[in-house]
Structure formats: C-alpha cells, structure tokens
Amino acid sequence: MRELRHRFKMKRTRFVFLSAAFGGFLCLAGIPAFSAEPDVSPKTVSFDAEKLKKNKTGLYADIFDQIVYEKGAQFLRLGDLARRLTGKEKRIPARDVNIFDEVPDSLFFTNRQGREPLSKEALRDGTGEAVPAEGDWTVIKGKTEGVNAGFFIKDSTGQKFLLKFDPIDYPELASASESISSRIFYAAGYNVPSYHVVEFPLDRLVPAPDAKFFDQDGFNKPLTKEKIAELLHSAGKTKEGLYRASASKFLKGEILGPFSLSGCRSEDPNDTVPHRVLRTVRALRIMASWVNYYDLRMENTMDVLEDSAGGKVIRHYVYDFGSTLGSAGYGPKPPQFGHEYIFDYRDIAKALFTLGFWEKPWQKRWDENKRRVSMRSAGYFDNLYFNPGKWKPQLPYDAYDELTDADGFWAAKIILSFSEEDLKAIIETGKLTNDKVREYITGTLLERRKLIGEYWFDQTAPLDWFQIETRAEGLTVRATDLALYYGLKASARYRVSAPGFEKEYDRPEFFIETGKPASLPDPLILEVQSTRSDGRWSKKVCLTLARRGDRFELSKIERQL
C-alpha cells in the first residue's frame, strides 16, 4: 500500500501538470515513422547490474495506472481527443517489423513455429530445460504471492525451481494449464521459463535450516517439515497419493522486474522503441485470447539481465501461466473473465442505462452452461460467445488497444500454424489422466483457433507468400489465400490495382497485362484486395515491386492498418 500511495502522488502530479501542459502537443507530434528495416540485432553491453533500475508493480498499482490514471489522462490529451471527436484517429504502425511486414528475431521474440513447424518432440520439450532431479528437494522458502501453496526449492544438483500446487478440489487444473500454455507461447516465439508437471511424495521436501514462510497474519516464521505438510493440506494429489505441482526453473541471470507494456527501458541500448508500438507486445492480446490468459498484465512479464557473447543483454519474458485455459490458479476461471475488464466503464454504463436488464454475453454463457463446470480438471473454458475482436484481458493496456489489423493478421498466422497433432503433443505435457479432458481442451483450442483466424483474416486481405513472374506481355502475381489454405471461409473475389490498371479475379493468381514490362514505373505499386464475409472489399495489401535487370522482384509488403 505504501508503494501504491507513492505511485498515486506521483501520477497525480503528472496528471494535473504534465498531461494538461504537454499531452496535446505530444499526441499531435505523434511517433516517428518506422524505417524500412528495424535494427533488432542485440547489442551486448557491459551493464552495471547495481545501477540498473528494477521495476516493481502489483495488481493494485496496475489497476490504478490503467483504470484510473490512463483513462483519466485521455481527456487531457488534446490532440488525441480532437482526432477521436473528428473521426480522424490515426492508427500507429508497428515499429518492429521488416519490409515484408514480418517480425525479425529480437530480445522479445524468436520466430519458431511461424517460420517452420516444430517437431512433436520440440513442441513437447518447450524450452528444453530439465525437470527437478531425483533425490531430496531442499525447500528454501515459501511462496509469498498468490492464493495457492508454493515453495522455492533446490534439487539434488543445486538447480532452483518454484513449485506451485493444484487446488485440492480441482486436481490437475492449474499445473496442466501452465505446462500447456507456456509451451504454446514458447513455440509461437515468446520467451518463457520452463514449466513441467511433477509428482512426488511428501518426504521428498526437506526444509532448509533457515527456510521461512509468511503466515496468514503476515509474520515471517520458520518453515518446518510439519508446517510444509500443514500448508499442503489443501493441495491436490494423484490417485496414488503423490503431490502434483508445476515446477518452473529459475532463469539464469539478474531479475530486473517486469517490463512496461507502454514505454521502454531507457538504460538499455536494445530497448529504444515504446513497447506499445511493438507488434510482439500488441499481439500478446491475441495470443492471450487463444488460451484465455486473462491475467496477462505487466506483473506477469519479466526483464532478465543475461550473459551473451561479448557482454550482457536484457531479455524480455512472459511467465505465470497457471491462470490460462479454464484455470484461475485457485480454481475454475470465473465466467466473466475474457469478456470484461476488472473495472469496465463501458459495461457498467450499459448496465446502468438499461437498469440492469441488459444481459451480458458472459451471463448468457454461464446460464447456458447451467452455471456449473462440467469437468474439474478442465475448469471453465469454452467458446460460447467468444468474439476474438472483443476479447478483453484484466486491464486495458494501451498496447492491446492499439493493436492494428496488420498486427492481428500476423498473430493469427502463427496461431493457425499449430495443427491438431501439434496441440495434442503439447497437451500431453499436462499429464491429464482423463482422456475426455484432453479431447475437450484440444477441441476447444482448435475451434478457438479457427474463430481467431476467421475474424482477423476478415479484417484484411489474407494473402501471403507472394511470387512475382515477369513475362513479355506483363506480370504474373501468385499469392496464397491463407483462409483457403487453412480451411477457413475463403474469399470469393480478388482485385488488383496498379497505375492505369484495375481488374477482378476469382482466384489469387493475377495476370497484370501492361504491354512491355520495360515501360512500367520503377518502383511499381500494386494494391491487392479480397472480398470480406459481408461482401465488401477488404483493406489493401500494398506490394512494391522493384526492377532488377529485365525483371521485377518484390521489395516491400505493407498492409493497410
């Protein structure tokens, strides 16, 4: 609370003075245009760890920042307010993409599944880190955050892990969710710690002589073997009487706290672009919508100072996946999670205006499910009234709100690259003992994958993998309609526009008859569209073709925001 009061005083000062004085100017000035090729190759630096800022946050501080301060400050940003009132609000393009509208590898993201499908073994292995070794596990201290019991341990080889246990009434729920969702995020390209489901007898946990834990009254007390057994009284067990937990391995390096979902770390030469204009950060909203990671907020991110060839770098992680899929960590996810923010002004206003007669989508969903959870180890996870464009995390971060259709298309491509067999391989790692639960989670993820693809592909022309062929009488442009490729609702018509040329086609292969290619302008700009589900033309995909000798080659792809 002391930190929150301090944050309130600081934010209040900025709110009254800085936002009013400079907010309009900063918004009118905007963000500089993105250059053709982002410089994302990591620069190794000799950081002084003692001087690096260690960020801190918490749920209440996040609620104040995003619900109170940021929403209130919007009214004082004159440029932003003027654009909204006039309907000329400008969408900001992502600044971590290359000339082909793809995201290069960086300290935030590494292309994996989206670049080339991973093997089933690689999907199951995830980060490749090992589980805790056999033998005694020394309990260093008790976990101080969260509602479930947990311990920091050191295995017989000296490696450190965090153990988090399932609630007794919902066995396998949180640990399976953590194992499955962390591997999905890792395969997609994000940095995550390793997570493994482990099962073990109570006598494997041996408290260190100086081990401590915080009791319910907030006092730091010695952690004895008897106290460990008492704390695990409400933890889930297997049928064989073993305790079951999620074991996450400590990351190597200096922990610097969470990274901002809006600004950047000023002392890091590799972190110079505001995070709210990074596609990798914006797209977290879409990845989270797939696994219903409602709790994906600043507190569940982490900066780590790591060794690298020639120096050190700060790598950016996402972690804590125990509240994904149907799990809220402490039990099944409440039905409203994913449908509204923790404090949702718009839904509150609707409810007040209709005197409470407006039935929210999650209320309809809860009623249609007869207000119950059908399978305890699956929790509450289904696709009733799931709308990919309206899915909401816990807090309304600017980065999530500023997601563009181009960002959405990129994220949907990655999600669709996971096949049914891929998901089955990942779900195996959750060690779910009920076949029906495994089938249910697989089916729900596959259906949600399809809904996400159909929604975001409908916002723009879902054309990719372009090929250009120069012919004597013109150009042939071949594209792949990814909606058709992945078995979704495909476009019926396509349209291509170029200087002095416009034509419609019934398949994504376009012949642009221009006479002699030598007479074409250099560069040549082609605008490609497809029909949407409502019959209207989609937003444009702009292809820039440059002459290379006697032929044209694709030199840039840009999607309308």
Per-residue H/E/C for 305-317: EEEECCEEEEEEE
pLDDT at 179: 97
pLDDT 10s digits, 446-498: 999 999 999 999 999 999 999 999 888 788 999 999 999 999 987 789 999 98
What's CA 238's distance to the chain center, in Å? 32
- What band does 23 get if pLDDT is binned at 50, 70 and 90? very low
Contacts of 463 (CB under 8 A, 6+ apart): 479, 480, 481, 482, 494, 508, 528, 530, 541
Domain layout of the chain by residue ranges: 463-559
List the single range of 13-22, 415-424, 458-467 with lowest mean pLDDT: 13-22
At residue 26, the pLDDT reads: 32
Helix (H) or strand (E) holding 448: helix 435-457
Positive or negative torsion for Cα 90, 281, 453, 375 = negative
Q: Find the largest Cα–Cα distance for the chain.
A: 87
**Spatial separation of the C-alpha atoms in residues 487 and 489, rounded to whole Å:** 7
Range in 13-17, 27-31, 359-363, 377-381 the model is least confident about: 27-31
CA nearest neighbour of 556 among 6, 36, 10: 36
Cβ atoms within 10 Å, residue 213: 22
The answer to whether residues 289 and 391 touch, using CB atoms and an 8 Å cutoff, is: yes
**pLDDT tops 80 at residue 294:** yes
Residue 184 pLDDT more than 70?
A: yes
In whole angstroms, give the CA distance from residue 90 to residue 81.
Answer: 12
| Backbone phi, psi, residue 519, to 5° | -90, -5
* Architecture (CATH level 2) of domain 463-559: Sandwich (2.60)
Q: Which of 281, 262, 265, 261 is nearest to 94 (CA)?
A: 281
Instruction: Say yes or no to pLDDT of 311 above 90.
Output: no
pTM of the complete model: 0.89
Can you give the pLDDT at residue 87?
Answer: 54
Give me Rg for the CA atoms of the chain: 26
Q: How much of the chain, in percent, has pLDDT values that exceed 90?
A: 63
248 has a pLDDT exceeding 90 = yes
Report which DSSP code applies to 288. H
| Rounded mean pLDDT, 173-183 | 97
